[in-house]
Chain A
Amino acid sequence: MNDESDNDKLLNAALADGEWAALSAGLRERSLRTFRVRRNLRRGLRLCVAILVFAVIGTAGLRFDHRGGMTTATGTRPAEAAVKASVNSPRISDDELVALFPKGSCAIAEIDGRKQLVFFDEKQAEQGYALGPQ
């Protein structure tokens, strides 16, 4: 990358005098400082983004875990038991059906002489519940 022509050699000799050397040394230092600052800024930004991504992933994981944890809070894991029961037998009882959903979210009611599963929060019911152990 150093193929200097005769013209270049002469021009460099004439133009790159002591004044240029002083200017160039200062400018080199300044450019390198800017380069360093930019590089550190970019690295810092990348680190921040990585931390943010980990934080988002971590929060999402915690929330996910928390939702599963609601059922474990009762200590007996009724949903898990219900799912196991449903796997072993083709039919489930009313209690087993209610136990499939988060505690207090629904109940079996008799309407017009027929048993029906009624959800207290219609919106949540439309969105759906996580069934069984997560």
Chain B
Amino acid sequence: MAELSPRNTARLTDFVGFPFHEAAGAPLRREAMNAAAEAERAELRRLTRAIRGGDEAAFGRFYDLYSLRIYKHLLVLARGDEETAREVLQTVLLKVSKRFEVFEDKGQLWAWLRQVARNAFVDACRARKRTPEFVSLDALGSEPAEASAEEDRLGAALRMALEGLEAADRELIKAVYVDGQGLQEIADETCQTYKAIESRMGRLRRKVKEDILDNLRHE
């Protein structure tokens, strides 16, 4: 009677847990991802071309997609100075509404927007002659395509703000904004009124915001 040699058994166990299904589906997944990326590029091309062609609805859509992101970027540049960030945001959006380019790649569009924001911010600093208060532009990297620097700073500020909260509050914020749980559902689970949860959320949001801005100011 044939017995499995230790060598053979070792070979069989090598494959335990091997993701055969994933390996077999990899080319298909890659194709699907390529198709999705291509569709995304086509959508962006359509949107930016429509804006360039004077389509007001397309510009409105662009505004909804990017205004808050530009504002967050400016908040980092202005070290949490909301007033400056809002002022520069107005300039940026007015500039963009006057002249728009056609893009196929989200990264390129964001790099262009960052450049416009950066230039507007530098102009605002020059006008106020208060440069030392703001984040050094050199520290943010000279390459406009590097999107991570500001996002990292903002992400770090958020992490610190969340760490400053009590665990229960942190959980509550995550449940509402990340998991999308409804306030009524949470109120039912915790035997509290909807109003109580709502006002607690309002307080937490304000605290997180203040802490984020504070962290950006004291970086």
The stretch of A34-42, A73-81, A90-98 in contact with B is A34-42
> Which B residues are in CB contact (< 8 Å) with A126?
none
Q: Is the CB of A16 within 8 A of B90?
A: no
Identify whether the interface residues of B are mostly helix, strand, loop, or mixed.
helix
> Which B residues are in CB contact (< 8 Å) with A1?
40, 43-44, 65, 106
Q: Is the CB of B60 within 8 A of A27?
A: no
Cα–Cα distance between A39 and B58 once the two chains are bound (Å): 13
Q: Which of A10, A13, A23, A42 has the most CB of B within 10 A?
A: A10
**Chain B interface residue bracket vs A:** 35 or more
Interface status of B97 (Cβ within 8 A of chain A): yes
- Tally chain A residues at the interface, Cβ within 8 Å: 28
Interface status of A28 (Cβ within 8 A of chain B): yes
Nearest opposing residue in chain B for A10, CB measure = B177
Interface status of A50 (Cβ within 8 A of chain B): no
Interface status of A116 (Cβ within 8 A of chain B): no
Nearest opposing residue in chain B for A19, CB measure = B82
> Which A residues are in CB contact (< 8 Å) with B68?
12, 15-16, 20, 24
Cα–Cα distance between A35 and B161 once the two chains are bound (Å): 38
Q: What is B's interface to A at a CB cutoff of 8 Å?
A: 40, 43-44, 54, 56, 59-60, 63-65, 67-68, 71-72, 75, 86, 89-90, 93-94, 96-99, 106, 154-155, 158, 161-162, 173-174, 176-178, 205-206, 208-209, 212
Q: What is A's interface to B at a CB cutoff of 8 Å?
A: 1-2, 6-7, 9-17, 20, 23-24, 27-28, 30-32, 34-36, 38-39, 42-43
The 14 sampled A-B contact pairs (Cβ below 8 Å) are: A1-B106, A10-B162, A10-B208, A13-B176, A13-B205, A14-B209, A15-B68, A17-B206, A20-B71, A28-B63, A30-B90, A30-B94, A31-B63, A38-B99
Known: A1-B65, A10-B162, A35-B98. 8 other contacts (CB 8 A): A1-B44, A10-B158, A11-B212, A16-B68, A27-B90, A28-B64, A30-B90, A30-B93
